């Protein structure tokens, strides 16, 4: 369902301001601010990852690298026809929207600090307030901490939740609903356990139902 023009222009203003943000560079956490996110006001699904990686930074495109390809495979299993369909229907952002750089030991990307998450939080909160998504997909433990605080991936993957963190069954009566997923990055060891792969399979089945529901505009 298209959003009223006022909300569209509010979101565009927010996006313009976010693209110009240099808070983390100014504070010395990163060398260069280059916010990466994508989306528009007519999207009903919000996906929140951890932070862009170097490929996303170079292409200014969320989930453009190897982890993104894994995520696209999961989302296609959840009812999207292909990657274009995913990007058409999902607003994609992250807990921090600039590449945080590599870890000092070179083993993957650095996890953003709580201070960086705090600096970037107003952008995420602004998107939540203007987009008013029906379905939120937190990806990985950092996003989980924002949407289902104090919960572990093992305890939440495979189910649907309301905004207060209570599990949901059946057709949701209130928006937004949450379907958390693990992070698709190869850096994450979480999916090395077959029992957790089974949890992911269950989450994708749940997500498929919620994606269909989010597209109805009802509820
Ligand atoms: S990560 Fe967020 S707060 Fe930090 S510079 Fe980028 S857009 Fe700004």
User: What is the distance in A from the centroid of ligand 1 to the CA of 40?
Assistant: 19
State the pLDDT at residue 10.
94
Give the mutation target among 14, 16, 19, 22 for probing the ligand 1 site: most ligand atoms within 8 A of CB.
22
Give the E-state strand segments of the chain in sequence order.
45-49, 90-94, 135-138, 160-162, 167-168, 177-178
Domain total in the chain: 1
Give helix 140-147 / helix 114-131 axis angle, nearest 10°: 60
State the pLDDT at residue 187.
77
As a whole number of angstroms, the distance between CA 207 and CA 98 comes to: 27
User: What is the distance in A from the centroid of ligand 1 to the CA of 26?
Assistant: 10
Give the mutation target among 37, 56, 111, 120 for probing the ligand 1 site: most ligand atoms within 8 A of CB.
120
Residues 6+ apart with CB under 8 A from 129: none
120 inside domain: yes
19 lines ligand 1 (CB under 6 A): no
Average confidence (pLDDT) over 57-85:
97
In the block, residue with structure tokens 């008013």: 132
Range of the domain at 107: 5-214
State the pLDDT at residue 121.
98
State the pLDDT at residue 219.
43
Give the mutation target among 96, 112, 126 for probing the ligand 1 site: most ligand atoms within 8 A of CB.
96
Mean pLDDT across the chain, nearest whole number? 94
Residue from 129, 37, 45, 41 nearest 89 by CA:
45
Average confidence (pLDDT) over 43-71:
97
State the pLDDT at residue 147.
98
115 inside domain: yes
194 inside domain: yes
Q: What is the side-by-side order of every strand in the sheet holding 160-162?
A: 90-94, 45-49, 135-138, 177-178, 160-162, 167-168
- Beta-bridged to residue 93, according to DSSP, are 48
Q: Copy the structure tokens of residue 7.
A: 């909300």
Residues 6+ apart with CB under 8 A from 134: 44, 45, 175, 176, 177, 213, 214, 217, 219
Q: Are 112 and 50 in contact (CB under 8 A)?
A: yes
As a whole number of angstroms, the distance between CA 142 and CA 159 comes to: 18
91 inside domain: yes
State the pLDDT at residue 68.
97
179 inside domain: yes
80 inside domain: yes
Q: Copy the structure tokens of residue 197.
A: 């792969």
99 inside domain: yes
Q: Copy the structure tokens of residue 85.
A: 């369909």
Q: Are 37 and 94 in contact (CB under 8 A)?
A: yes
User: What is the distance in A from the centroid of ligand 1 to the CA of 35?
Assistant: 6
User: What is the distance in A from the centroid of ligand 1 to the CA of 129?
Assistant: 18
CATH code: domain of residue 112: 3.40.470.10
Q: To 5 degrees, how large is the angle CA 214–CA 203–CA 167?
A: 75
Q: Among residues of the chain, what percentage have pLDDT more than 70?
A: 95
Q: Is 90 exposed, middle or buried (0-12, 13-18, 19+ CB in 10 A)?
A: buried
User: What is the distance in A from the centroid of ligand 1 to the CA of 128?
Assistant: 16
219 inside domain: no
């Amino acid at each position: 369902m298209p959003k009223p023009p006022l909300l569209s222009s509010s979101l565009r203003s927010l996006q313009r301001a976010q693209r110009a943000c240099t808070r983390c560079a100014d504070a010395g956490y990163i060398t260069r601010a280059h916010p990466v996110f994508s989306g528009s006001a007519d999207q009903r699904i919000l996906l929140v990852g951890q932070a862009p990686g170097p490929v996303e930074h170079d292409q200014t495109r969320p989930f453009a690298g190897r982890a993104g390809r894994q995520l696209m495979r999961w989302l296609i299993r959840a009812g999207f026809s292909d990657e274009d369909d995913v990007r058409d229907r999902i607003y994609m952002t992250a807990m921090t929207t600039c590449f945080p750089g590599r870890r000092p030991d070179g083993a993957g990307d650095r996890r953003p600090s709580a201070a960086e998450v705090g600096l970037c939080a107003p952008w995420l909160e602004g998107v939540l307030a203007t987009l008013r998504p029906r379905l939120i997909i937190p990806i990985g433990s950092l996003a989980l901490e924002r949407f289902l605080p104090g919960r572990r991936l093992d305890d939440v993957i495979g189910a649907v939740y309301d905004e207060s963190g209570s599990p949901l069954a059946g057709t949701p009566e209130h928006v937004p609903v949450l379907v958390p997923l693990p992070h698709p990055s190869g850096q994450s060891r979480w999916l090395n356990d077959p029992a957790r792969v089974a949890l992911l399979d269950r989450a994708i089945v749940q997500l498929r139902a919620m994606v269909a529901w989010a597209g109805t505009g009802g509820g």
